[in-house]
Amino acid sequence: MDETNKIKFTPETEALMQSIIKRYPEGKHKSALLPLLHLAQMESDGWLSVPVMDRVAEILHLQPIEVYEVASFYSMFHTKPVGKCLIEVCRTSSCWLRGAYDIVAHIENKLGIKDGETTPDGKFTLRTVECLGSCGTAPMFQIGETFYENLTTEKVDKILEENKDRKTHTSYLDHSTFSQR
Amino acid sequence: MERRLLFEHIEVPGIDTYNVYRSKGGYASVEKALKTMTPDAVTEEVKKSGLRGRGGAGFPTGMKWSFLAKPEGVPRYLVCNADESEPGTFKDRYLMEHIPHLLIEGMITSSFALGANTSYIYVRGEFFYIIRILEKAINEAYANGWLGKNILGTGYNLDMYVHPGAGAYICGEETALLESLEGKRGNPRIKPPFPAVKGLYDCPTVVNNVETIAAVVPIVNNGGEAYAAIGIGKSTGTKLISASGHIRKPGVYEIELGVPVEEFIYSDSFCGGMITDKKLKAVVAGGSSVPILPADLILKTTNGEPRLMTYESLADGGFATGTMLGSGGFIVMDETTDIVHNLYTFTRFYHHESCGQCSPCREGTGWMEKILHKILDGHGTKSDIDLLWDIQSKIEGNTICPLGDAAAWPVASAIRHFRSEFESYIAHSGNGIKQAATAQKATVNM
């Protein structure tokens, strides 16, 4: 792809990627694909465009298709743009029992969007997702790395307010998540 | 009362830090194993303990370890399965968040027993804040000489890394997890060969759940026999139970295996009873895949004996009247619960999480979700119940991995025990009955 050349991650990220590749035995660098895609997404407004995935393929000496087929398999990799604040609400049994659908309906009303949509101003994306392993503190949602638990509509309003003027996209991780040894 | 073995020190302030953990006797099992035991002797203690895999399958851990092939010159791996994603289960997350060094310690002792010099902890991607905690704990372990080269001067070397998943329930299946760890889609492998012979990078590998590995610490410290003395029969030791749903005190409880189910639900030491004093209707006792049981069958077996929190007692009666301990994901439902809708959330889950490799699972889970949606939406017909039954029976046993079974069992058990609720929906089809039968304000999201 011609556009590949245009994509470069920051030197800090590229260095972190190289240190993560070293976590796996020689010749098994493909193992680093998931962590590298997470870092690439973190640097690319929360989603993976084709040029971004091509850059990851280049770093790992993989065919681009090996990256695309993995990116499309896992639900945390977003292959389309997302809003600055991505809200992922758990909808499975235990959360459903404790009112998750009320939380979803409240957010939908408040933001004027449906599940899976992004607000026209690009500020929020709402997604319902499958069990996030927070069943004892239901209902809950995840924004980036943070779990918001035992939600009430009042709590949700406060969280939406706090996130309405975000300058950067929410991310599941940052440069300090992985340590370099 | 809880019986705290893994969680003995969990309420000690700062137990997530190395210094506090060490001051409470942390890393003693590593010292004991590396300095005074052979790797085989450690495995022998685990065998004696009767410990069974805590991820859900309940396979004896010591036996799994003894299957590990040991060809000369080929590396062996221990991989920790921290891809906790079975709906209703959140115990591993709790353990890693509050007492991360217990897992690191168990990993070192277990790696020594297996002769592994590199170990990975595969953590579900949604838990990046846990990855942050584990990274810090591993760094502390390196800094204090518990990881790296020549640990405690014994000549044993071990490197340990955390590896993030990226959102896929199927990666909790051990061969899918290994595929994912190799940087691929999480498609389960055909077995045999088993990971013990050909696992990570085609090398002999043991994959164990977080709680299983943590349990190795007290087993080595106190001996396998002491561990086996806890519990009842073949259900030895303690088990972490994740309790959720319509109960007063949701949370993670460490129980001695053998606590009566009734006590677990109603005692103030555990769930504390139903949240609004409504009646108990049903329980999913071991994570979403195990059969749902109505109140009478979860509290007592058909012989009239109290049902106990053990592998054997919960399974008493087979799938006709029993269930499974599974992962210990204990979901409690009160009398207002719409069983058909609850099943819909499970079936939608399995459809979403099917890897798509086997046709019965890929297509069958989708069909079951569609039919349940149709019933909930007020368009069900009488033949739909038989059709659901037929589909689940054709998925079960016909897939490469157990996800197919896991998707089939909730459907079969809901129909078996709550058929009238399906019939009620269908009897009122076309009358806008969608909301009438349910206390939950359910808007069905496709």
**pLDDT digits over B62-93, tens only?**
999 999 999 999 999 999 999 999 999 999 99
| A170 at interface of B, judged by CB pairs closer than 8 A | no
| B346 at interface of A, judged by CB pairs closer than 8 A | yes
CB contact under 8 A, B245 and A98: yes
CB contact under 8 A, B131 and A173: yes
CB count in 10 Å sphere of residue B131: 26
Residues A91, A114: one domain?
yes
Q: What is the pTM of this model?
A: 0.96
Give, in order, the Cα–Cα distances in Å from B133 to each of A133, B24, B100, B104, B210.
Answer: 17, 19, 7, 11, 15
**Surface of A (101-130) touching B: CB under 8 A:** 101-102, 104-105, 115, 128-130
| B143 at interface of A, judged by CB pairs closer than 8 A | no
Give chain B's residues under pLDDT 50. 435-446
Residues A90, A64: one domain?
no
| A134 at interface of B, judged by CB pairs closer than 8 A | yes
pLDDT at B439 (0 to 100): 37
pLDDT at B1 (0 to 100): 79
Residue found by looking up tokens 């590749």 in the block:
A21
CB count in 10 Å sphere of residue B293: 23
Q: At what angle do helices A50-60 and A11-21 cross, to 10 degrees?
A: 50
Residue A78 maps to a domain: no
Mean pLDDT of all residues belonging to chain A = 95
User: Which among A70, A93, A136 is the nearest to B288, CB-wise?
Assistant: A93
Partners of residue B292 on adjacent β-strands: B284
pLDDT at B322 (0 to 100): 97
pLDDT at A5 (0 to 100): 58
Domain holding A52, by residue range, is 10-71
**Which of A16, A60, A130 should be substituted to probe chain B, the one whose Cβ sees the most B Cβ atoms within 10 Å?**
A130
**Which of A90, A93, A137, A177 should be substituted to probe chain B, the one whose Cβ sees the most B Cβ atoms within 10 Å?**
A93
**Surface of B (186-205) touching A: CB under 8 A:** 186, 201
Element holding B150 (H helix, E strand): strand B148-151
What's the alpha-carbon Rg for chain B, to the nearest Å? 22
pLDDT at B440 (0 to 100): 42
Q: Which residues of B touch A34 (CB under 8 A)?
A: 125, 163-166, 180, 183
| B117 at interface of A, judged by CB pairs closer than 8 A | no
User: Which among B132, B251, B442 is the nearest to A101, CB-wise?
Assistant: B442
The CA angle B178-A133-B254, to the nearest 5 degrees, is 100
Tokens, residue B380? 């069900």
Q: Is the ipTM of this complex over 0.90?
A: yes
Give, in order, the Cα–Cα distances in Å from B144 to each of B23, B35, B86, B133, B431.
Answer: 13, 17, 35, 17, 69
Residues A65, A93: one domain?
no
| A172 at interface of B, judged by CB pairs closer than 8 A | yes
Residues A98, A155: one domain?
yes
Residues A123, A156: one domain?
yes
Task: Name, in order, each residue with C-beta under 8 angstroms of B313's C-beta and a sequence gap of 6 or more.
Answer: B235, B301, B305, B307
Give, in order, the Cα–Cα distances in Å from A153 to each of A95, A131, A142, B31, B353.
Answer: 14, 20, 15, 51, 29
Residue A48 maps to a domain: yes
Residues A61, A34: one domain?
yes
| B266 at interface of A, judged by CB pairs closer than 8 A | no
| CATH code (residue A23) | 1.10.10
Task: Name, in order, each residue with C-beta under 8 angstroms of B48's C-beta and a sequence gap of 6 or more.
Answer: B62, B223, B224, B225, B227, B228
**Surface of B (71-90) touching A: CB under 8 A:** 75, 84-90
Contact of A154 with B108, CB cutoff 8 Å: no
Residue A172 maps to a domain: no
CB contact under 8 A, A136 and B244: yes
pLDDT at B437 (0 to 100): 42
pLDDT at B445 (0 to 100): 38
Task: Name, in order, each residue with C-beta under 8 angstroms of A158's C-beta and a sequence gap of 6 or more.
Answer: none
Residue found by looking up tokens 């809200």 in the block:
A87
Separation of alpha carbons A141 and B86, rounded Å = 17
The predicted model gives A23-36 an average pLDDT of 97
Contact of A66 with A105, CB cutoff 8 Å: no
Task: Name, in order, each residue with C-beta under 8 angstroms of B193's C-beta and a sequence gap of 6 or more.
Answer: none
Residues A90, A136: one domain?
yes
For each of the domains in chain B, give its residue range(s) and CATH number, in order of start.
Answer: 18-229 (3.40.50.11540), 235-334 (3.10.20.600), 339-427 (1.20.1440.230)
Residues A117, A152: one domain?
yes
Residues A64, A126: one domain?
no
User: Which among B86, B183, B345 is the nearest to A31, CB-wise?
Assistant: B183
pLDDT at A6 (0 to 100): 75
Residues A101, A56: one domain?
no
DSSP string covering B248-289, please? SS-EEEEEETT-BHHHHHH-TTTT-SBTTSPPEEEEE-SSTT
Contact of B200 with B12, CB cutoff 8 Å: no
pLDDT for residue A1 is more than 50: no
CB contact under 8 A, A133 and B84: yes
Beta-sheet pairing, A124-129 with A85-90: parallel
User: Which among B164, B244, B342 is the nearest to A35, CB-wise?
Assistant: B164
Reading phi first (left if > 0) and then psi (alpha if -120 to 50, else beta), residue A178 is in: beta
* CB contacts < 8 A (A, B): 178
Q: Closest Cα of chain B to A22: distance in Å?
A: 10
Residue A28: which of B375, B118, B165 has the closest Cα?
B118
| B70 at interface of A, judged by CB pairs closer than 8 A | no
User: Which among B333, B349, B443 is the nearest to A97, CB-wise?
Assistant: B333
User: Which among B166, B169, B345 is the nearest to A38, CB-wise?
Assistant: B166
pLDDT at B435 (0 to 100): 46
Q: Closest Cα of chain B to A46: distance in Å?
A: 14
Residue A80 maps to a domain: no
Residue A126 maps to a domain: yes
pLDDT at B55 (0 to 100): 95
| CATH code (residue A91) | 3.40.30.10
SS3 B95: helix
Residues A157, A97: one domain?
yes
Partners of residue B159 on adjacent β-strands: B118
pLDDT at B150 (0 to 100): 98
| DSSP 8-state assignment for residue B154 | T
pLDDT at A18 (0 to 100): 97
Residues A94, A53: one domain?
no
Q: Which of A40, A71, A102 is the last residue of a domain?
A: A71
Q: How many structural domains are present in chain A?
A: 2
Separation of alpha carbons B352 and B87, rounded Å = 13
Q: Which residues of A touch B353 (CB under 8 A)?
A: 130
